[in-house]
Each structure stands twice: as C-alpha cells, then as structure tokens.
C-alpha cells in the first residue's frame, strides 16, 4: 500500500535555497558551534557518497535542526531537509530560522497520506531527509514513543536510516523556554541501519532501541 502511495511523490517540492539563506547558514553554524560548545562523535558513519539517507533523531528542543546541521559537514548540511510541524514556527523569526536550517514545515492538519509522498520526494531528489520520530519535543528529557512514519518511508524506498542522538539541548532550551542557556551539547551519529527487506515495525523498533540505549548510556549534562 505504502509503495503505491510513495509512487505519487513528485517534484512538487523542490529542495533549494537562496543565496541570502545560504549566507544566514554560514553565519549560524560557527555561532551554534561556539555557543553550545558543540561536540560531535561518529562522523565516520556519515555517507561518503551522494546516496540519500534518512536521519532519525530524538527531539529535545526547537534548536535541534540548527544543532544537527551545525554538527554535519557542509556536503551533508547543504543537502539535508528536516521535517517539523508548522505550529512551532509561528513567528517571522522562527520561520526565517526554519528556512535557513532547511526545515520543511508540515501542517499538523495534514494527513499521513499527504505528508509521506511529500517527504519521500526529498529522497527522490537525491537529498537527505531528517525526521524526529517522536513527533514532538520531549517534556522530560527522555525520548517519547516513536511514530512509524519514518520507517514507512525507509521500508518503501530501501533508504538506510542513520540514528542521531542529541544530548544537552533539553537542558538548554526545553519546551516553553525561549532563550537558550549556554549548555554543552553533544551530537552522536550512530552506524547506519540497513532497511531493505525489513517491514516498518522492525525498522522503527531497531532505530528506537538504538537511540534509547545511547541516551540512557550517555553522560548526564549538568
């Protein structure tokens, strides 16, 4: 069923960015790295070629797209699009911030059958797709229940999933906090998980377990 639905993904969404937004990202990346003492581990797990990858990560704050973008090398950063609900980007600044970080805003009223072809279209264009499977920011610092949307896309496309763990962003900018504290943030890039021949439930379970174990075993951020 989902394979047929993904066949509907078209070029209706074009991944691209203006020179002004590129300049904004050039300014933002060093600022984020400095302010949050950004530490990155596992860069060797990133794709060396242009093969599209689906990144799945825990969701700690509204800063997550900027933190992850800043953690990636430019060859990944300029080809990755994040997915987020538009209700969290309800101001002019936040919408500009979303554009700079290449965040595609999805209406919370959009049905799954509408959203999946749009997201799959990014992969069809040879770009990387980044999804927060929890669907919302954590309220406790612990990852919430993972939704299977990302796994449906991965199973139907055969695209590998790279789990990414964000630690420290919750302490810096938990839900409801507008100005982030200067807290060290660590981004951990984990080994890719092959998806060909696996069903969505299996993929989702593998990714969720991997991320949860890494969060539980990670250093506590003070």
Over residues 162-183, the mean pLDDT reads: 89
- Give the pLDDT of residue 221: 41
- Give the pLDDT of residue 44: 96
Over residues 165-180, the mean pLDDT reads: 86
Residue 44's Cβ-side half-sphere holds a number of Cα atoms within 13 Å equal to 0
Q: What length is written for the chain?
A: 222
Average model confidence (pLDDT) across the chain: 84
Q: Say if CB 153 and CB 120 are below 8 A apart.
A: yes
Tell me, letter by letter, the H, E, C secondary structure of 14-38.
CCCCCHHHHHHHHHHHHHHHHHCCC
**CA angle, residues 9, 100, 117, in degrees to nearest 5:** 10
Give, to the nearest 10 degrees, the angle between helix 92-100 and helix 19-35: 90
Quick one: which H or E segment has residue 103? strand 103-106
Confidence of residue 21 (pLDDT cuts 50, 70, 90): low
Which range, 41-45, 59-63, 74-78, has the best average confidence (pLDDT)?
Answer: 41-45
Domains of the chain: 2-217 (3.40.1130.10)
Confidence of residue 110 (pLDDT cuts 50, 70, 90): low
pLDDT tens for residues 197-215?
999 999 999 999 999 999 9
Is the predicted pLDDT of residue 89 greater than 90, yes or no? Answer: no
Cβ within 8 Å of residue 166, ≥6 positions away: 57, 58, 59, 60, 64, 67, 68, 185, 186, 187
How much is the pTM? 0.84
């Amino acid at each position: 069923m989902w394979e047929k639905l993904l066949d509907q993904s078209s070029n209706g969404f074009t991944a691209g960015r203006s020179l002004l937004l590129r300049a904004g990202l050039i300014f933002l990346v060093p600022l984020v790295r400095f302010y949050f003492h950004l530490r990155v581990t596992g860069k060797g797990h990133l794709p060396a070629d242009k093969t599209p990858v689906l990144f799945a990560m825990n969701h700690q704050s509204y800063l997550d797209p900027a933190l992850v973008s800043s953690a990636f090398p430019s060859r990944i950063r300029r080809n990755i699009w994040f997915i987020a609900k538009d209700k969290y980007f309800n101001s002019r600044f936040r919408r500009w911030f979303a554009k700079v970080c290449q965040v595609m805003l999805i209406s919370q009223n959009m049905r799954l059958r509408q959203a999946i072809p749009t997201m799959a279209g990014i992969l069809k264009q040879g770009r990387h797709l980044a999804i927060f499977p929890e669907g919302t920011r954590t309220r406790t610092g612990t990852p919430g229940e993972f939704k299977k949307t990302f796994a449906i896309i991965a199973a139907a496309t055969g695209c590998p999933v790279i789990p990414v763990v964000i630690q420290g962003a919750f302490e810096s900018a938990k839900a409801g906090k507008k100005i982030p504290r200067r807290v060290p943030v660590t981004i951990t890039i984990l080994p890719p998980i092959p998806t060909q021949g696996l069903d969505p439930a299996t993929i989702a379970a593998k990714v969720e377990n991997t991320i949860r174990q890494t969060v539980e075993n990670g250093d506590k951020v003070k």
